[in-house]
Amino acid sequence: MATTPPSGLDTLVRHPWNVGFEWQTRGGPYRRLTASESSQFDELGFVVIEDAVDAELLEAVTAEIDAFEAEFEGLLRAADHERAFIAEADAITFTTHLVARSPAIRALATSDVFVDLCSDLVGPDVNMYWDQAVYKKPEKPRRFPWHQDNGYTFIEPQQYLTCWLALTDATEQNGCPWIAPGAHRAGTLAHSYVDPLGFECFSEPPTPAVAAPVRAGSALVFSSLTPHMTGPNLTDTVRKAYILQYAPLGAQVLRGDPRAGAPAERALCEAPDRQFPILRGGERVTA
- 30-74 residue pLDDT tens: 999 999 999 999 999 999 999 999 999 999 999 999 999 999 999
The correct CATH number of 37-280 out of 1.25.40.10, 1.10.3720.10, 2.60.120.620, 3.40.50.720 is 2.60.120.620
- 171-209 residue pLDDT tens: 999 999 999 999 999 999 999 999 999 999 999 999 999
Q: Is the peptide bond before 157 cis (omega within 30 degrees of 0)?
A: yes
Confidence (pTM): 0.96
Q: Which of 189, 173, 169 is nearest to 240 (CA)?
A: 169
Q: What is the pLDDT of residue 116?
A: 98
Q: What is the pLDDT of residue 5?
A: 47
Neighbours of 150 (CB within 10 A): 26
Print pLDDT tens along the chain (287 aa).
334 445 567 789 999 999 999 999 999 899 999 999 999 999 999 999 999 999 999 999 999 999 999 999 999 999 999 999 999 999 999 999 999 999 999 999 999 999 999 999 999 999 999 999 999 999 999 999 999 999 999 999 999 999 999 999 999 999 999 999 999 999 999 999 999 999 999 999 999 999 999 999 999 999 999 999 999 999 999 999 999 999 999 999 999 999 899 999 999 999 999 999 999 999 999 86
Q: What is the pLDDT of residue 258?
A: 93
Q: Tell me how far apart the alpha carbons of residues 64 and 76 are, in angstroms, rounded to a whole number.
A: 19
Q: What is the pLDDT of residue 9?
A: 76
Q: Tell me how far apart the alpha carbons of residues 25 and 65 are, in angstroms, rounded to a whole number.
A: 34
Q: Where are the domains of the chain?
A: 37-280
